[in-house]
Structure 1
């Protein structure tokens, strides 16, 4: 995701800060993205290195894609340093995450889903849940989501959609979500193209009426990472305008970005 976002940022004409952090080993601690040399540091060095980067790039906006276990610690650091950030990482203690950012009073866009069109689908689901609560009472819900094997937790998008269905009257626990992480099953059962096994997001939601005579299916399948990278860049640009205007509200999600119409 880091590489995909960097490429999208350069494509959008933004200045790419040539520094990143990753626990993955990179030869010589450097990588090349869009003819730009990026220095890759270990996350343990972030608190030492970031202050000097901020001095050189005062309009810096951090983009965070990491593992669930690092979510809260990373947010703590950004808040400590007063760094605005866009976080597409799922997992972690989300309630604590939002409280940390609000208490620190810094600008941030935090969303479990950065894909623009998927965000629009989520917004539609939320509107339906708010306006027609209980509309699917008694229905049975089945959820299957497939992601690359490195995706450790339940998709944040699946959690959001399930929450909407719960408001619509369906009894469903997140433990019931079927996580598909086995490549063979992803190809033969889910239908993921082999070339996208390392980066995809296939979601299927199946609803069945109590007597089995009515069914509904919702599905959104994404191959690759460009949809998330483009949305992340839009979020960063949105956040920059909020900072420049001195907006009173400081914590946003991608639905805020979508509603403002700031998407390219």
Structure 2
């Protein structure tokens, strides 16, 4: 659990002892000796063996930098960070042409850093927050450059932005020595479980649907620029099950009228955020049909999963886990989601 308030603990040790405990970034430490002993050298010498060093250790809170605000997904994640009592970093990266200079979530004010200031901003945040995890919900075109910058700055991150080159992201993490990352096309844990189920089925029963035909249709709000990363991941599993289908054949619906008519999206979620997916399989002779659907209204499930990933990554980093790269299926398997 994150530490909501600073905790002060006192530890006593002989004054002449040499501290051997390694620095823990979760703890800010300061030391002092008795002022009476400093004013009286004779007394200090006579009581040297009984002198103590008082160490004050203050727990450092987990801080989260949410990049991409005031975008809708980033904004929902920032609200979830505050709701859980974590520290929301007071600066965030944003894209070109954003009119606002500040963003507010749950009473926490965040200054927005434009592209020319991104490198300096990351350094400021790393210096200010010793225990910092970055969340990225920016734009597909910015995803890979951002990951390179996070890795160079030594900042661990959770990236929910889809449309980037995942292999290049993994290489950036591998090149760093202490950066941990969660890279996933979907942060909703129930959707992640569905993806895991399809992946397991493909591994256990390769070619089970050979000869079947498939259509894939996904609907999102018009502001989503790329094809659903979740749909791409599920299509990959279907391909291993024997279906001849390319991700380029996924039908992307972004028109409000089609979303409501063909996908049954409630009108209030056309712009407020939705993710409706339908995968339809038909046997060669048309006598057997399978249909898989997962339909989400709003962004709450993704924001909650994102903060789960942040807290999981913080724990792995603290433990010094030899594995530094994770996806949401990894987190789900080891019970890292609340």
2:101 paired with 1:32: no
Partner of 2:157: 85
The normalised TM-score by structure 2 is 0.76
Q: Distance in 2 between matches of 1:239 and 1:63?
A: 11
Matched, 1:191 2:264: yes
Residue 68 of structure 1: aligned partner: 140
**For residue 261 of structure 1, what is the aligned residue in structure 2?**
335
SS of aligned partner of 1:136: coil
Secondary structure at the counterpart of residue 133 of structure 1: coil
Provide, for residues 207-250 of structure 1, a one-character-per-residue CA deviation record: whole Å limited to 9, x for no partner: 00000000000000011111110000000000000000000000
Deviation at residue 252 of structure 1 after TM alignment: 0.4
2:93 corresponds to 1:21: yes
What does residue 46 of structure 1 align with? 118
C-alpha RMSD of the superposition: 1.1
Matched, 1:210 2:314: no
User: 1:96-148 CA deviation, whole Å, 9 max, x = no partner?
Assistant: 12112112242000001101100000011111000000110000000000011
Q: Which has the higher contact order (CA 8 A, sep 6+)?
A: 1
Report the Cα distance in structure 2 between the residues aligned to 1:228 and 1:182, rounded to whole angstroms: 23
Higher helix share: 1
For 1:91 and 1:186, the matched residues in 2 are separated by 22
Q: What is the distance in 2 between the residues matched to 1:249 and 1:44?
A: 33
**Cα-to-partner distance string for 1:15-42 (whole Å, 9 max, x where unaligned):** 1112112225243x11221011111121
- Which secondary structure state, in structure 1, belongs to the residue aligned with residue 132 of structure 2? coil
Counterpart in 2 of 1:239? 313
Matches within 5 A, 1:135-150: 135-150=208-223
- In 2, Cα distance between the equivalents of 1:190 and 1:57? 44
Superposition deviation, residue 44 in structure 1: 2.6
Identify the match of residue 296 of structure 2 among 222, 226, 249: 222
Larger mean CA deviation between 48-57 and 242-251 belongs to: 48-57
Separation in 2, partners of 1:49, 1:219: 41
Higher alpha-carbon Rg? 2
Runs of 4+ aligned structure 1 residues displaced above 4 Å come to: none
Structure 1: how far apart are the matches of 2:171 and 2:220?
A: 29
Task: Flag structure 2 segments of 5+ consecutive residues without an equivalent.
Answer: 1-72
Residues 177-196 of structure 1: CA deviation (Å, up to 9, x unaligned):
11001111111221111111
Find the aligned partners of 1:136 and 1:44 in 2 and give their Cα distance.
50
Give 1 or 2: higher strand fraction.
2
1-side partners of 2:103 and 2:249: how far apart? 40
| In 1: Cα distance, 2:175 partner to 2:235 partner | 29
Q: Please state whether the residue corresponding to 1:90 is helix, strand or coil.
A: coil
The TM-score, its normalising length taken from structure 1, stands at: 0.97
Contact 1:26 1:40 in 2 (8 A): no
Match of 1:2, SS state, is: helix
